Amino acid sequence: MTHQPLVVAPGAGLTVPLGASSLTIKLDSAATGGRLALLEYNVAPAFAAPQRMHWRTRETQAIYILSGRIRYQLDDQVVDAQAGTVLHLPEHCAFTWSNPDPAPARMLYVFVPAGLEQFFLDVQQVFRDHPGLDPAAAASLVEELWRSYGVLT
């Protein structure tokens, strides 16, 4: 990391396809000296992240819903987050999420500290290594990766 400003233009960043969804890493650990990571997540219609409650042991996450609606299960609270909603998920906050709608949604993720962006690159590699992987098998492999990144269930 330098002390020079960094400008990431619209459409720039490293795009990571994740099945029908994708995310773009706008700022990573290398760019911010490990301080934070910023990712834009394009969520496919009717997408459900692994529906096992999980939490991070290392990172705090801020989420800004850019468009669409994302449903978060936060412990025993369900939040239907519309565009403009901000969520703060500190480490050890149990959650899961989905896009319950037939339309795509977009979110902006901020992780503090940085590092979890590499998880998404590793998930992409799982899909590359297992073409045509069914969702149940993918969830199992993703949960194995979670543990290596300090994500617990």
pTM for this predicted structure:
0.91
Tokens of 2: 């330098």
Summarize pLDDT for 102-127 with one digit per residue, the tens: 999 999 999 999 999 999 999 888 88
Closest CA to 64 of 42, 86, 90, 80: 86
Task: Name the residue with tokens 């992780």.
Answer: 111
31 within 8 A of 38, measured Cβ to Cβ: no
CA-to-CA distance for 92 and 142, rounded, in angstroms?
19
Which CATH fold topology does 14-152 show?
Jelly Rolls (2.60.120)
Residue 112 near residue 135, CB atoms below 8 Å: no
Pick from 107, 89, 117, 119: nearest CA to 41: 107
Q: Is residue 19 over pLDDT 90?
A: no
Find tokens 């906050």 and name the residue.
93
Residue 69 parent element (H or E): strand 69-74
Task: List the chain domain ranges.
Answer: 14-152
Cα torsion at 65, 81, 149, 2 (round to 10°)? 20
Q: Give pLDDT tens digits for 37-89.
A: 999 999 999 998 888 899 999 999 999 999 999 999 998 899 999 999 999 99
Q: Torsion-angle region of residue 129: left (phi > 0), alpha (psi -120 to 50) or beta?
A: alpha
Structure tokens at 91: 């480490």
